[in-house]
Amino acid sequence: MDFGLVYPALVAGRLLLAFAPLPDALKHDHQLSSPLTSYPRLQEGVYLFQHGIDPYSGGLFRHSPLLLSLFSTALPLNKFTSACLWTACDAISAWALVKIWRARQRVSQSSRDSLIAAIYLLNPYLLLPTLALSTSTIENMLFLLSLMFASQGQSSPSLLALALLVQLSLPSAIFIVPMILLLLSDPVSRLASPREFNTYLSSILAKLGTFLGFSFALTSLSVLVCGNWTWVEQTWGAAVMLPDLTPNPGLWWYFFTEMFDHFRPFFLMVFSAHLLIYVLPVCLKFQHDILYATYILAGVYATFKPYPTLSDPGLFISLISLFPETYQYLRYPIVTTLLHLHSALLLPLFHHLWLSQGTGNANFFYASTLVFGVSNGAALLDAIWAGLRIAVGNLPEGYELIQK
């Protein structure tokens, strides 16, 4: 289908939904927004800031000062501007995903453009958080913009978008290494023909220096906005110390609810390190296709993030549209799909039974988040398996891969 017709139609449909009464019912849903991405908390922080009160003093507001300054000045928050802005973020994200696909195929346009845009804009895991006005939509946009610019070899825009993303969500720092490596390679598929990735350490350090420069400038701007450093503990610190145990679809909150206080620092360190330990192994194993390595790390991020929402696995699921060559090598796609459908039914059901009906307890909802974690893990393992098996499947007959 014609991308020039499908894409505007999908965006227009998203905008109509944004002005429907549904978003008001979704803003407080724990599955769609977390304490770090909640729209009502953002509104409260902006209100306090505009009235001369430090929004970080109460321990409730945990958004970046960059968002605070943006929505306090240039973009006042109301139903009209919020609906337009969040829809625009999704439209830009879908457009960026299409551009990444074109860069991977080295074409100016393709017959799959409409399908890729539709996979993103019609993904319910991405649609519902956008309707709930979760700032995770803005984070997804920054990630895809950084990935798009990296795929096109545009260093400064990519690293600036990544620096903005890390400012908004500290765990996104796991993408620094693959994004720099992608800037030094190209996004063309080489899964079927692995080869060693060669680059100079000086080139990596130069890109890292540029990223750190952008990060320093944005951090200085945040300090200038707030006039102090209290925002660091309430924003970046929240992603490490987990002070707010509001229920979410992730694996952290219930575990630390039941944790004895004297064990808490140790397990916080273990959980945080667990998110980081995948970066180098994945980048080394898929050094011949860094874009695929970034996709795998997006799955790790969605599964083990401290404060996830449905938009995190939704982004990972949409990214699979970039790698159609792996579809025939997926090991258990039907099981993974059924697990996601099962968890998609259990999450709202058990959430309602516990917090609305009062006929359940926290174990109900946590059981559904465990199923959701298993489904995300199954999708991640399927993707890794397919990425490794495609090379074996394309070897000449009679040959075997020899691990050096």
Q: Choose the weakest-confidence range: 124-138, 165-179, 190-204, 260-274.
A: 190-204
State mean pLDDT over 26-43.
Answer: 88
State mean pLDDT over 213-224.
Answer: 92
Would you tell me how many other CB atoms lie within 10 Å of the CB of residue 286? 25
Residue 1: the pLDDT is 67
Per-domain residue ranges for the chain?
Answer: 3-393
Residue that wins the pLDDT comparison between 156 and 186? 156
> Helix (H, G, I), strand (E, B), or coil: what is residue 154?
coil
Pair 299, 380: CB distance under 8 Å: yes
State mean pLDDT over 51-67.
Answer: 85
Query: Using one digit for the tens of pLDDT, what is the confidence trace for 61-112?
Result: 888 899 888 888 878 888 888 889 999 999 999 999 999 999 998 888 888 8
Query: Using one digit for the tens of pLDDT, what is the confidence trace for 279-331?
Result: 999 999 998 889 999 999 999 999 999 999 999 999 999 999 999 999 989 88
Please give the structure tokens belonging to residue 269: 């360190």
Query: Could you give the dihedral angle defined by the CA atoms of residues 139, 142, 148 and 151, in that order, rounded to the nearest 10 degrees?
Result: -90
State mean pLDDT over 178-184.
Answer: 93
> In angstroms, rounded to a whole number, what is the distance separating the alpha carbons of residues 313 and 380?
10
Q: Is the pLDDT of residue 349 over 60?
A: yes
Band the pLDDT of 394: cuts 50, 70, 90. low
State mean pLDDT over 5-16.
Answer: 90
